[in-house]
Amino acid sequence: MTIHGRPLRRDRALLMAIVNRTPDSFYDQGATWAPAAAEAAIERAVAQGADVVDLGGIPASPGPEVTAAEEIDRVRPTITWARERFPQLTISIDTFRAEVAEVLLAAGADLVNDSWAGWDPDILAVTARYGAGYVAAHTGGLTPRTDPVKPSYDDVMGDVVEVTVDLARRAVEAGVPAEGILLDPTIDFGKNTLHSLEVLRNLPRLVDTGWPVLLAMSNKGVVGETLDVPLDGRLTGTLAATALAAQAGVAMVRAHQVEETRQTLEMVASIAGHRPPSRAERWM
């Protein structure tokens, strides 16, 4: 996989670290809201082995309005700092707005993580103009920052495959480099817990499309409801799903806990024979 001219390693599934420039993200509740905290989180993520850092300036969940100008003001300084500090780092921007993508790509971002499935019709053209990568997501037709009401599918994974592949093809037609496009089944977006579990168990269907797949389910509600655990108790369930997804062939995993996720991905890759052990000394 090559994103914005940056080839990425593939001896294990790639790791996208989450850094939220928001005061109200569902998981970290503003832990990286302050600029210095965000910069420290990026330093830590890179040191722990993240391949991509994903920066977002607006929560996915409903809440107070964040204008495009506010979103840019939150994220652009951090991108500028990260691009200067880590020239080779692949930087992703989590936005659904073309005007925000335009400014942040100009500031040095490489990948548009459009979690709202092309809601803004201009976002593909902007991404193409910069030669950046693009994440084609599935939201069940939701508009940004809304929750579903009793979502229903005859075949949820069939819908995921159809929608994301179609969006990926439209991205290519718009001029987005094909080698930088990923499909995201977008766990919990437009889906209840049973839908999300069905998507997780059917990830090979999405992998079999031939497009690289991004799994973004870190600490999400499906884990909380499945295991009946609070927000701070979702790591074990997240890593279990991560291991199975890596075994199924997903190309990238988006995560809050970088060190634990990287170790999970490396262990799966080593068991599968794609990655040698970091060291093999006992009785050699």
Digit-coded pLDDT (tens) for 202-241: 999 999 999 999 999 999 999 999 999 999 999 999 999 9
User: Is the confidence at residue 116, as pLDDT, over 90?
Assistant: yes
Between 3.90.600.10, 3.10.180.10, 3.40.50.880, 3.20.20.20, what CATH number should domain 2-272 receive?
Answer: 3.20.20.20
Tell me how crowded residue 190 is: count the other CB atoms within 10 A of its CB. 23
In the chain, the percentage of residues whose pLDDT exceeds 90 is: 94
- The whole-angstrom separation of Cα 8 and Cα 1 is 6
Q: What is the predicted pLDDT for the residue at 14?
A: 98
* Bridge partners (DSSP) listed for residue 215: 253
pLDDT above 70 as % of the chain: 100
Give me the residue label for tokens 């499945």: 226
Please say if the pLDDT value at position 10 is more than 80. no
- pLDDT band per the 50, 70, 90 thresholds, residue 1: confident
Please, are residues 203 and 215 in contact by the beta-carbon 8 Å criterion?
Answer: yes
- Residue 56 carries which DSSP code? E
* pTM, 2 dp: 0.96
Mean pLDDT for 31-41 is 95
d(CA 185, CA 174): 21
**Mean pLDDT throughout 43-59?**
97
Q: What are phi and psi of 234, to 5 degrees?
A: -100, 0
Predicted pLDDT of residue 87: 97
Is it the case that residue 105 has pLDDT exceeding 80?
A: yes
Instruction: Write the secondary structure of 162-196 as one string of H (helix), E (strand) and C (coil).
Output: HHHHHHHHHHHHHCCCHHHEEEECCCCCCCCHHHH
